[in-house]
Amino acid sequence: MGNRMKTGLQAVLALFPRSLFRAVETSVCHCRYWSYRTLRLASIPILAQTVYVRAENPDLEEAIRKIRMGTLVIQASPDAEVRVTQQRHEFWFGAALASGMFSSDADTEGAARYKRVFLENFNAAVTENALKWHAMEPERGQVDYRITDRMLDWAEKNRIPLRGHNVFWGIPNRVQPWLKAMSDGELRKALEARARDVARRYRGRFAEYDLNNEMVHGNWYEDRLGPEITREMAAWMREEDSAAVLYLNDYDILTGRRLDDYLAHIRKFLGQGVPFAGIGVQGHLHGDSFDADALKNALDRLAEFKLPVRVTEFNFPGQRSRYYGKRDAPLSEEEEKAKASAIVDYYRICFAHPAVAGILMWGFWEGANWIPQSSLFRRDWAETPSARAYRDLVYRQWWTSWSGKTDARGRCEVRAFFGEHRVTVNGKEQPVSLRRAEPLQKLVF
């Protein structure tokens, strides 16, 4: 395999006799991978059965430099000392917010730590359960806004854009019984009231909403009220909040299994004039490994709509892993290393794709994560190897920290990742926002 290989997963392979493995070289996203397939599986941990050892990937790195970086032009006196320090990413590196951490009976110290660790690692958020209709209004007329309100207050205080997940969820077992008991006329009025209530109460506060969750997999509202109901839902919301940003959101898309269905689904709604402004794709449905080729292909095809794509609900290992059914089963040290390497590869592919605007983990702490083994932090808040790998990627490799001097003309140009930066010249500071939409910014000192 040569010396160019990343060695993070080689420790996994070293645990087992070479006779157990068959190496197959493949090309994924212009990157060479060696997929080690076990010939005898019974004694091998699942995560070690399919192991990707990533070679150098200059194409991905070049794509990241091209689409995620801009230029700061600094003009000052000749030979001036210059420092550029990044403060925040433009790209969303986010996570879900657990309702329990914002409830009135939450452990004060535990909730405070949860929020502190969140802010140390993420710059965007999504409501995990708080906004869901069946959570807010399990009984007709008894709407509980408290947790959603607290989440928004906290997010705004800390400048965290918050996704509203979700306004509607038409999977039949997610629809309250009291809605199912209504006549069609009553149901339409209830949907209108819900859409208007959310949009009016939270006007201008949520960064974006998942309008009706997982419609590829079921849409009881459409089954009852006809194919125009999604357009009506959007219209009701936009009448109350003309700036509301509405997303689709569905699963098994990035695996490729329901990709064609989703593409047809998106075309249908756009053809109806539903004002969807973005495409959400969940990241739950891989197993103990992920298909990098399928991921890249799905992103390429979704990009054809010219709408931003967010990976809205990422877990690794995922819902098809053995851990989904054994949520108390610990990962071995070798499996933790494999998990860290896979997360890095997944994020790198997404960050290198021009259509992707963010990735949000569906839980980051074992104490509040539906697949605890996919967490960055253990229940006692100890870092996993994945936490260290994630932070190295987001806050070192993809983070700008530059120092140098202006030239004889008093000028210097600095390539920097998109986001917010602090520029210091001879002790004087200026903040600057470098955006993908405006990739060149000039500062004069």
- Span 431-440, pLDDT tens digits: 999 999 999 9
Instruction: Calculate mean pLDDT across residues 43-61.
Output: 50
Residue 5 has pLDDT above 80, yes or no: no
List, in sequence order, every residue forming a beta bridge with 26; answer none if it has no partner. Answer: 33
What pLDDT does 58 receive?
Answer: 83
Please answer whether residues 380 and 370 qualify as being in contact, where contact means their C-beta atoms are separated by less than 8 angstroms. no
Q: Is the peptide bond before 385 cis (omega within 30 degrees of 0)?
A: no
63-85+400-444 and 90-397: identical CATH topology: no
What pLDDT does 48 receive?
Answer: 35
Please answer whether residues 129 and 99 qualify as being in contact, where contact means their C-beta atoms are separated by less than 8 angstroms. yes
Residue 354 has pLDDT above 80, yes or no: yes
pLDDT tens for each residue of 229-274: 999 999 999 999 999 999 999 999 999 999 999 999 999 999 999 9
User: What is the CATH code of the structural domain delimited by 90-397?
Assistant: 3.20.20.80
Instruction: Calculate mean pLDDT across residues 334-343.
Output: 96
What pLDDT does 57 receive?
Answer: 79
List, in sequence order, every residue forming a beta bridge with 36; answer none if it has no partner. Answer: 23, 51
Interior/surface letters 87-119, b for 16+ CB within 10 angstroms, e for the rest = eebbbbbbbbbbbbbbeeebeeeeeebbeebbe
List, in sequence order, every residue forming a beta bridge with 71; answer none if it has no partner. Answer: 415, 440
Residue 172 has pLDDT above 50, yes or no: yes
CA distances from 93 to 5, 55, 298, 320 (A): 27, 25, 20, 24
What pLDDT does 19 receive?
Answer: 35
End-to-end CA distance of the chain: 51
What pLDDT does 53 receive?
Answer: 38
Specify the pairing of strand 92-97 against strand 124-127: parallel
List, in sequence order, every residue forming a beta bridge with 31; answer none if it has no partner. Answer: 28
How far apart CA 118 and CA 429 sit, in angstroms, is 28
The CA-based angle 378-382-387, given to 5 degrees, is: 80
pLDDT band, very low/low/confident/very high, at 52 (cuts 50, 70, 90): very low
Beta-carbon contacts of residue 362 (< 8 Å; ≥ 6 apart): 95, 96, 128, 282, 283, 284, 313, 314, 315, 369, 370, 371, 374
Query: Which is more confident, 6 or 378?
Result: 378
Interior/surface letters 298-324, b for 16+ CB within 10 angstroms, e for the rest = bbebbbebebbbbbbbbbbbbbbbebb
Longest dimension (CA), the chain: 78
In 10 A of CB 20, how many CB atoms?
18
Residue 157 has pLDDT above 60, yes or no: yes
Please answer whether residues 155 and 162 qualify as being in contact, where contact means their C-beta atoms are separated by less than 8 angstroms. yes
Beta-carbon contacts of residue 445 (< 8 Å; ≥ 6 apart): 74, 75, 76, 77, 80, 425, 426, 428, 430
Question: Could you tell me the residue ranges of all domains in the chain?
Answer: 10-57, 63-85+400-444, 90-397
Question: What proportions of the chain, in percent to the nearest 5, are helix, strand and coil?
Answer: 35, 25, 35
In 10 A of CB 137, how many CB atoms?
19
Instruction: Calculate mean pLDDT across residues 25-34.
Output: 32
pLDDT tens for each residue of 75-107: 999 999 999 999 999 999 999 999 999 999 999
What pLDDT does 21 receive?
Answer: 37
pLDDT band, very low/low/confident/very high, at 11 (cuts 50, 70, 90): very low
Classify residue 384 by its DSSP letter.
P
- The chain-wide mean pLDDT, for the chain, equals 89
pLDDT tens for each residue of 270-320: 999 999 999 999 999 999 999 999 999 999 999 999 999 999 999 999 999
How far apart CA 62 and CA 352 sit, in angstroms, is 8
What pLDDT does 4 receive?
Answer: 34
Q: In the CATH scheme, what architecture does the domain 63-85+400-444 have? A: Sandwich (2.60)
Beta-carbon contacts of residue 154 (< 8 Å; ≥ 6 apart): 102, 115, 160
Classify residue 377 by its DSSP letter.
B
How far apart CA 257 and CA 106 sit, in angstroms, is 39
The encoded tokens of residue 71 equal 């230029």
How far apart CA 208 and CA 243 sit, in angstroms, is 9
How far apart CA 93 and CA 339 sit, in angstroms, is 18
The encoded tokens of residue 73 equal 């032009």
How far apart CA 48 and CA 46 sit, in angstroms, is 5
pTM of this structure = 0.87
What pLDDT does 255 receive?
Answer: 97
Per the listing, tokens 């993420």 go with: 122
